Amino acid sequence: MPGTARYAPRPLRGRGLAIGIDIGGTKVAAGVVDPDGVIVASARRETPGQDPRRVETVIVDLVRELGRGRRIRSVGIGAAGWMDLDNGTVLFSPHLAWRNEPLRANLEKLLRRRVTVLNDADAAAWAEWRFGAGRGEPRLVCITLGTGIGGAMITDGVLERGRHGVAGEFGHQIIVPNGHRCECGNRGCWEQYASGNALGREARELATANSPVAQSMLREVHGQAESITGAVVTRLALQGDPACRELIDDVGQWLGLGIANLAAALDPGTFVIGGGLGAAGSLLIDPARRSFERNLTGRGFRPAAVITTAALGPEAGLVGAADLSRIRSGPLLRRGYGAAPVARRGERR
């Protein structure tokens, strides 16, 4: 059966440098990470379209570039999508052309070293739990806002992956029946309303209609409405642009609604919000908190989770991938995430 339900970390051991790589829909970010979670060198490339072989070539180039002159203990890859953890295979990625892609095997052949492959949101959550905003939190949910929405949960130091290894795809909860079409094939997924892509889409609609409130965005992209992205909107919002701030406020309200749904199901102590869109800071988090409080089941009669921004920013994914690759060891390599499997009730190990 692909995946395993829970992974509890063995004692965190292993020194030395590790390379972590975070593969997103628009960029491939890489860094050399020390055992304290500090990035000592970094590099990035644009994600090269939809060709899996070209993505692998970019990864290999980054590992070789960053490893030059350094003694690298391990390499970890965080990739968006559903994973077969036992075999290091990307079963499906909504934003990349990976379908049953044997990513780990391919990279190990090219790099001639062992490689850890894991979900990118799991990597980010692990980094925040180990080194960032989630330290000391026994029940943490991490939400990464980028091209889409990724998610992960850590309970008492255990990365929760579900029965089949594909838990945490929070962005694909259907929040608006028959809503916007999603890359996953469904309609109305949460990430179509609360992600960087959603922010960019709403901004482009304003600009395409030549709305007077969109003129600053159009100037920023030299009149090319199709070039407006969530990152452009976020940058202008942080500079004080009213229309961009309103757009981020709207996304924040959708974000808070989805978080309230997750709180009803999972009851974590802390939600950590990371990813590229997390750079909007309080412009995003404040409306998310208001929406969360308004939509939380049992509000006023139950403790409410803390909602906070990620401490490690968009680098959390590569930090977590590097750290998880470092702490894994020999016979556990095929089991995923450098962790010892915890038996479910009624099972034997």
3-state secondary structure string across 145-196: ECCCEEEEEEECCEEECCCCCCCCCHHHCECCCCCCECCCCCECEHHHCCCH
Asked if 23 contacts 55 with a C-beta cutoff of 8 angstroms, the reply is yes
φ/ψ of residue 37, rounded to 5: 80, 15
pLDDT band at 248 (very low <50, low <70, confident <90, very high): very high
Average pLDDT score, the chain: 87
User: What does pTM read for this prediction?
Assistant: 0.82
Torsion angle in degrees (nearest 10) through CA of 313, 318, 324, 328:
-170
Distance CA 91, CA 255 (A): 27
* Residue % of the chain over a pLDDT of 90: 68
Q: Do β-strands 72-79 and 82-84 pair in parallel, antiparallel, or remain unpaired?
A: unpaired
The distance between the two most distant Cα atoms of the chain, rounded to a whole number of Å, is 65
- Closest residue by Cα to residue 336 from 144, 161, 94: 161
pLDDT of residue 8: 43
pLDDT band at 12 (very low <50, low <70, confident <90, very high): low
Distance CA 149, CA 172 (A): 8
Alpha helices per DSSP H over the chain = 52-67, 103-111, 120-131, 196-208, 215-220, 230-238, 242-266, 282-295, 316-327
Taking 60 as the threshold, does the pLDDT of residue 1 lie above it?
A: no
Q: Can you count the helices (H) and strands (E) in the chain? A: 9, 15
pLDDT of residue 262: 97
CB-based contacts of 134, cutoff 8 Å, min separation 6: 125, 128, 140, 142, 154, 270, 272
Taking 60 as the threshold, does the pLDDT of residue 347 lie above it?
A: no
The amino acid present at 199, given as its one-letter code, is L
Asked if 313 contacts 22 with a C-beta cutoff of 8 angstroms, the reply is no
Distance CA 196, CA 99 (A): 24
pLDDT of residue 331: 32
- Rounded to the nearest angstrom, the gap between the alpha carbon of residue 252 and the centroid of all alpha carbons in its chain is 17
pLDDT band at 194 (very low <50, low <70, confident <90, very high): very high
